[in-house]
């Protein structure tokens, strides 16, 4: 694989230079609370753009660290609108991070500082008029998936008692909780292993099967849950267009092909 293609792939799975935090464990594979890193970027280093590390940390701490978020947004108010790609185009805003984990105080803080309200935040916050109006204006929109492939109904559940009216409405309307297809255990066990697609130490990823979850782990990036497309095919949560094909199908695979990236990775173990 050429250097330029390798860099392209790295950009899709997570910036190798940014030292991304590993996130795992939420209902869609995005994970446990990310730790807030002290790393920030000198504003002049990426002028006129905000530094990637600063943006990433803002989205990460929006999962549960309000004091740190207040420090970041206090220094750079525009970060209230920050969005980060956790891998393969699984974009998450700071408000989206707060919403899918039910962090009402963080969501309200972000909205008060310029974050753009979306349907998923409205569902978590219990804003029934907003959710109802959107669905009545655009029937079927309740099936749209949020960050990490999480459903609108999952966001309403995250809102707890104050979002119960939205939850009841969505359950009555239907279609707001499409079920993700899990990779069957017998297939998942066969697919697990380490795969290499280039000569560099970072040109590899691992597929793991643990706790009933099949996951994709890049060397530099964020772990993604893998969801079933077909037998011996899966896609990372939040990125259905990125299909991993394990070959030979039906047996012990010796390679995985990602056509969308023009990538073939050889299995090296087990």
Residues 103-160 pLDDT 10s: 999 999 999 999 999 999 999 999 999 999 999 999 999 999 999 999 999 999 999 9
- Assigned fold of 21-173: 1.25.40
Chain segment 162-199, per-residue pLDDT in tens: 999 999 999 999 999 999 899 999 999 999 999 999 99
- Assigned fold of 185-269: Lipocalin (2.40.128)
Percent of the chain with pLDDT over 70: 84
Q: Whole-angstrom Cα distance, residue 134 to residue 238?
A: 22
For residue 250, what pLDDT is reported?
87
Closest CA to 62 of 46, 81, 76, 49: 81
* Domain layout of the chain by residue ranges: 21-173, 185-269
Q: What is the mean pLDDT of residues 240-252?
A: 93
For residue 20, what pLDDT is reported?
30
| Residue 251 CA, distance from chain mean position | 30
Across 71-202, the runs of DSSP E, i.e. the strands, are: 83-85, 91-93, 193-196
Closest CA to 224 of 70, 13, 9, 75: 13
Are residues 14 and 221 in contact, defined by beta-carbon separation less than 8 angstroms?
A: yes
């Amino acid at each position: 694989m050429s250097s330029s293609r390798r860099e392209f792939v790295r950009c899709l799975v997570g910036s190798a230079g940014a030292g991304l935090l590993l996130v795992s464990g939420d209902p869609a594979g995005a994970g446990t609370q990310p730790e807030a890193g002290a790393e920030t970027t000198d504003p002049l280093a990426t002028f006129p753009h905000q530094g990637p590390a600063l943006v990433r940390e803002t989205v990460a701490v929006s999962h549960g660290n309000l004091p740190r978020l207040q420090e970041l947004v206090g220094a750079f108010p525009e970060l209230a609108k920050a969005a980060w790609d956790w891998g393969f185009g699984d974009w998450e805003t700071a408000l989206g991070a707060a919403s899918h984990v039910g962090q009402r105080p963080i969501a309200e803080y972000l909205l008060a500082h310029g974050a753009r309200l979306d349907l998923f935040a409205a569902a978590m916050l219990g804003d029934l008029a907003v959710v109802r109006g959107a669905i009545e204006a655009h029937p079927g929109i309740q099936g749209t998936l949020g960050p990490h492939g999480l459903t609108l109904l999952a966001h309403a559940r995250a809102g707890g008692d104050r979002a119960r009216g939205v939850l009841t409405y969505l359950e009555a309307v239907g279609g707001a909780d499409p079920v993700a297809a899990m990779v069957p255990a017998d297939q998942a066990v066969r697919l697990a292993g380490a795969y290499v697609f280039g000569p560099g130490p970072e040109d590899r990823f691992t597929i793991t099967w643990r706790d009933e979850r099949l996951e994709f782990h890049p060397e530099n990036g964020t772990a993604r849950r893998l969801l079933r497309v077909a037998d011996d095919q899966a896609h990372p949560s939040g990125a259905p267009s990125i299909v991993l094909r394990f070959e030979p199908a039906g047996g012990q695979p010796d390679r995985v092909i990602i056509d969308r990236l023009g990538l073939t990775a050889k299995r090296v173990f087990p």
